[in-house]
Amino acid sequence: MHNAYFQFAAPQNEPVYSYAPGSPERVALKKQLAAFKAAPVDLPMYINGQEVRTGKTVEIHPPHEIKHKLGQFHMGDASHVKTAVDAALAARAQWAATPWEQRAAIFLRAAELIATKYRYHMNAATMLGQSKNAYQAEIDSACELIDFLRFNVHYLTEIYKQQPASPQGIHNRTEYRPLEGFLLAVTPFNFTAIGGNLPTAPAMCGNVVVWKPAETAVFAAAMFMQILIEAGLPAGVINLVYADGPTLGDICFNHRDFAGLHFTGSTGVFQQMWKIIGGNINKYRAYPRIVGETGGKDFVMVHASAQVDVVATALARGAFEYQGQKCSAASRAYLPSNIADAVLNKLKEMLGTMKMGTVEDFGNFINAVISERSFDKIAAYIDNAKKDPKAKIFAGGGYSKTDGYFVEPTVIVTTDPLYTTMCEEIFGPVLTIYVYEADQFEATLDIVDKTSDYALTGSIISQDRYAIDLATKKLENSAGNFYINDKPTGAVVGQQPFGGARASGTNDKAGSALNMYRWLSARTVKETMVPPTDYKYPFLSADAGA
């Protein structure tokens, strides 16, 4: 029974802990890392609120310490995907009818549990499973995930308030229903927060979800699922399955009740899914909503007026934090000839101080890349650059997979603005730099715009306001998130809604009201207080026959 309009506190961004030497959070996190390393985990799927163990197990190893076994997860097959879809559909009616304040409370409670009781569990699982240092885990698996949960509750509350006008004698209203069917959330390895956001954003809206995380991120995903259950998420609302992509797609994309896809990952996989959904369009009850945030080839454009230290720092952080495995990572930069040498030398000096190794050693800025497949792909790009006359390895270039998948932060300088590594997404710690004549700023902006099919993030670094204005205008379509005098990474929920256009995705801006609208289907209801009782218009009765 609703007998009040409920309000939720306006959300604030979760404060980022520093993990500085001697801090209590550093002690607590190290303790949790040690605990996880001492006791291997056995991770089930979660279908209809039940833990499902198949016995077909896949081992989990930290990418930076591949000989250590962290535990295992239980792989599912087509039958588990089917059961998950059935469980979701069975849960739908009751969940959709549950009042907003009750649904919201579950996600706010999950946010609170992560902020307090499970902060170090989430961070340690992300550090060990996905090879993130403490700071990178903190901004992801603690703060960004908490922010997604709290801010999305706020955005949805604001959406529900939006109502049409009602003139005298008529009451109009808009109801924001969940979609008719189930949602599929398919999530990438690189951000635990994205893994958490993709199933929960539609679920908040009253939808039911089948969630498949990347195999390399199962540890943190399962931890988050346990927290959702502890927070009171009813059985069947979100069903976490581990299945290979094509098997999952075969069941979900052929189902009459498939209502939408919430995807983040590579462009190729998303385009393949879209094609299959398009080919099956006659099978569905309604047009599925398709939201996908995908790859990037993110740029840093530097003007002749830029400060050397600002540029070198933006490149060092933007390109190499989390080993360049952010969709937003700077992977191509354009330096003006007047400061290029100074920037390159400063950058090399910074890279020389970056330590690489395990996540337990908090002195390491660089950890491992996610998998052997990824390592081999990155190493091939580096090897090709070593052989190509158009490219020169300016810094780094080394790699080893003896103990873990380690790739040195690598800077390639090229004489060709269309060299392969200026165009293709590598998704590793490789930055390619093209030096342009300082008086060719505007022509180089055209090159920046046309070089890549992607349009995710980009930066302009300049002290000249006219140059900033020109770049902002000319690169309007080149990046969904555009930064002025900053690195192109590190968007914060509620501050820089995130997403790109062109081949980078549908630009529905994760962590914003725009995204929440995609999971709602509006019904408009008009009620007439005193209905008319005669079909004739007034003018007909007044001048009858004239």
- Interface residue list for ligand NAD (CB under 6 A): 186-191, 194, 212-214, 245-246, 248-249, 264-266, 269, 272, 293-296, 327, 425, 427, 456, 498, 500, 504-505
Query: Residue 452 and residue 299: Cα distance in Å, rounded?
Result: 10
Question: What tokens appear for 331 in the block?
Answer: 């992977």
Q: Residue 326 interacts with ligand A1AUG (CB under 6 A)?
A: yes
Query: Residue 343 and residue 349: Cα distance in Å, rounded?
Result: 10
Q: Is 180 a catalytic residue?
A: no
Instruction: Report residue 294: phi and psi, to 5°.
Output: -125, -145
* Catalytic residue selected from 65, 144, 293, 408: 293
* Amino acid identity for residue 475 in this structure: L
Closer by beta carbon to ligand A1AUG, 41 or else 503:
503
Closer by beta carbon to ligand NAD, 110 or else 503:
503
Strands 406-407 and 399-400: antiparallel
Nearest-CA neighbor of 209 among 231, 229, 179?
A: 179
Closer by beta carbon to ligand NAD, 120 or else 270:
270
Q: Residue 491 interacts with ligand A1AUG (CB under 6 A)?
A: yes
**3-class SS letters over 182-221:** EEEEECCCCCHHHHHHHHHHHHHCCCEEEEECCHHHHHHH
Q: Residue 328 interacts with ligand A1AUG (CB under 6 A)?
A: yes
266 binds, among ligand A1AUG, ligand NAD, none (CB under 5 to 8 A by kind): ligand NAD
199 binds, among ligand A1AUG, ligand NAD, none (CB under 5 to 8 A by kind): none
Closer by beta carbon to ligand A1AUG, 191 or else 263:
191
Query: Residue 142 and residue 114: Cα distance in Å, rounded?
Result: 6
Q: Residue 327 interacts with ligand A1AUG (CB under 6 A)?
A: yes
427 binds, among ligand NAD, ligand A1AUG, none (CB under 5 to 8 A by kind): ligand NAD
Question: What tokens appear for 492 in the block?
Answer: 């914060």
Instruction: Report residue 392: phi and psi, to 5°.
Output: -135, 130
Number of residues that bind ligand A1AUG (CB under 6 A): 9
Q: Which listed range, 43-51, 103-111, 396-404, 484-492, lies at the site for ligand A1AUG (CB under 6 A)? A: 484-492
Query: Residue 19 and residue 143: Cα distance in Å, rounded?
Result: 14
Exposed (0-12), middle (13-18) or buried (19+): which is 68, by Cβ within 10 Å? middle
Q: Residue 191 interacts with ligand A1AUG (CB under 6 A)?
A: yes
In angstroms, what is the minimal distance from the CB of 263 to ligand NAD? 7
Strands 520-528 and 170-178: antiparallel
Residue whose entry in the numeric block shows the structure tokens 């890549």: 452
- Which of 489, 504, 507, 512 touches ligand A1AUG by CB under 6 A? 489
249 binds, among ligand NAD, ligand A1AUG, none (CB under 5 to 8 A by kind): ligand NAD
Q: Residue 302 interacts with ligand A1AUG (CB under 6 A)?
A: no
Closer by beta carbon to ligand A1AUG, 374 or else 414:
374
In angstroms, what is the minimal distance from the CB of 310 to ligand A1AUG? 19
Instruction: Report residue 5: phi and psi, to 5°.
Output: -95, 120
Nearest-CA neighbor of 420 among 505, 329, 331?
A: 331
Residues comprising the chain, all counted: 546
Q: Residue 74 interacts with ligand A1AUG (CB under 6 A)?
A: no
In angstroms, what is the minimal distance from the CB of 84 to ligand A1AUG? 26
* Amino acid identity for residue 529 in this structure: M
Catalytic residues, which ones?
293
Task: Give me the residues that bind ligand A1AUG (CB under 6 A), please.
Answer: 190-191, 326-328, 489-491, 498
